[in-house]
Amino acid sequence: MSTEMQEMHIDIGLVNTIVARSSLSFIDGEKGILEYVGYDIDDLARQSTFEETTYLLWYCHLPSRSELADFTAKIRSNYDLSEAMWDMIVSLPRDASPMHALRTLTSALSLEDPAADDPSEEANARKSLFMLAKMPALIAGFDRHRKGLDLVRPDLDAPLAESFLYMLTGEKPTERMARAMDICLILHADHGFNASTFASLVTISTLSDMYSAVTTAIGTLKGPLHGGANQGVMLMLDEISTIDEVEPYVLQKFANKERIMGFGHRVYKAYDPRATYLKTFAEGIAQDTGNNELFAKSQRIEEVMDREVGAKGIYPNVDFYSATTYFSLGIDLDLFTPLFAMSRVSGWTAHCLEYLRENRLIRPRCDYVGPHEQTYVSISQR
Ligand code: ACO
């Protein structure tokens, strides 16, 4: 090992490594605090909108009324897709997974952007807005295509969450449903250097482009240890038929050394503040939609987990109660992770824009533990 390497330390999983500075989200994992640019997540969930929260993450201040009106108008004017993109949606295999479809379609957006490789901050901000505005149509469009339904164009007069539900169902959602969707988008918008955000930064740090960075992030979010966990939570709730089955189910998982999806977090060793909010919210939505049993099962899982591993700091994370919320909203379980992407695109792009201002190539080292000085034997003699 070279002297330079000897001075470095190994940190598998980057558990104890701070990679860069950021002014976007603050997390205190021990106290269970999350702030976006200094604003508490609870205040934002109660009072803000996804559009305003995105503005906050991109420009690091709350917009004035005219700034918000202007920003919202720009997003809405970018909701619709080109005919080529709608055609591409209906050309995809119907049995493809929505996350694979979303990754492919987001990447394809770059093909019709002549400035896809323009590295200026202005162009990158425009591309960020372009992707954020169009992702709802990509997700809803693919879902309708796979179900053999006619595609529904966006509602250009509605907020992003409402327009998404309209495209998905073909019906104007109730105010409560639209607000529920909007709150979920706010809660998932950003979260420090989580795996998908970090992946997007690795890509952008090579001075690649915003479409590539977001495509990378979608692929990373998909994993069950990250954004894919919300789908895993719903699968688990489906497997448990009654409340009485919860305890033996959880204990059996522990006996098999399996994880309970929607619990635990790399940073939070206290209750995830997003889960605190979502829990109350999920209860209300579940009551409104006749899904009380589902909420009760979730709550029982939490009780058993608290008894078994609460002392280790393993609590519900954002994915746990978002599963109940999305299910109660009538959303198919394999759309849960695409919805996460539809929100987190605001955080991914915010971090890329921020990182590019003081860009440095992200290129860690590995500790080589393989052999040295091997003698090459030609193939004929092996
Ligand atoms: N169920 C059971 N045990 C768990 C869980 C869980 N969900 N999560 C952590 N543990 C246990 C581990 O078995 C380990 O126990 P041990 O010390 O006795 O071996 C200990 O807690 C620490 O776990 P690590 O995997 O080392 O913690 P890490 O920080 O690497 O992992 C992670 C965090 C991946 C989120 C983990 O908690 C997990 O797998 N959770 C389930 C998947 C999930 O919900 N992911 C979503 C995360 S939030 C998000 O990405 C939006």
Alpha helices in the chain (DSSP H): 3-6, 41-47, 50-59, 65-77, 83-91, 98-109, 121-146, 160-169, 175-188, 195-205, 210-221, 229-239, 246-255, 273-288, 292-309, 318-328, 336-356
Task: Please name the residue whose Cα sits nearest to atom 22 of ligand 1.
Answer: 264
* Greatest CA separation for the chain: 77
Catalytic option among 145, 188, 191, 226: 226
145 is catalytic: no
Q: Dump pLDDT digits (tens) for 50-66.
A: 999 999 999 999 999 99
351 is catalytic: no
Task: Please name the residue whose Cα sits nearest to atom 13 of ligand 1.
Answer: 259
Q: Dump pLDDT digits (tens) for 99-138.
A: 999 999 999 999 999 999 999 999 999 999 999 999 999 9
C-alpha 235 to ligand 1 mean position (Å): 18
Closest to 131 in 3D by CA, of 66, 212, 222 = 212
**Cα separation of 164 and 140, whole Å?**
7
**Cα separation of 365 and 355, whole Å?**
20
Q: What is the pLDDT of residue 45?
A: 95
Rounded average pLDDT per 10-residue block, the chain, 382 residues = 79 94 96 96 96 98 98 98 98 98 98 96 98 98 98 98 98 92 96 97 98 98 91 93 96 96 92 90 89 94 96 93 90 94 98 98 95 97 96
Q: What is the pLDDT of residue 19?
A: 94
**Cα separation of 107 and 105, whole Å?**
5
Element (H, E) at 27: strand 25-28
Closest to 185 in 3D by CA, of 196, 173, 177 = 177
Q: What is the pLDDT of residue 2?
A: 73
Task: Please name the residue whose Cα sits nearest to atom 15 of ligand 1.
Answer: 312
Give residue 369's Cα distance to chain centre. Answer: 35
C-alpha 370 to ligand 1 mean position (Å): 29
Q: What is the pLDDT of residue 281?
A: 85
Q: What is the pLDDT of residue 288?
A: 87
Pull the structure tokens for residue 267: 């940073």
Give residue 248's Cα distance to chain centre. Answer: 31
DSSP output for 64-118: PHHHHHHHHHHHHHT-SPPHHHHHHHHHS-TTS-HHHHHHHHHHHHGGG-TTTT-
- CA separation, residue 318 to residues 186, 203, 279, 315 (Å): 12, 26, 9, 10
Catalytic option among 265, 332, 351, 367: 265
Q: What is the pLDDT of residue 152?
A: 98
Q: What is the pLDDT of residue 212?
A: 98
3-class SS at 372? coil
226 is catalytic: yes
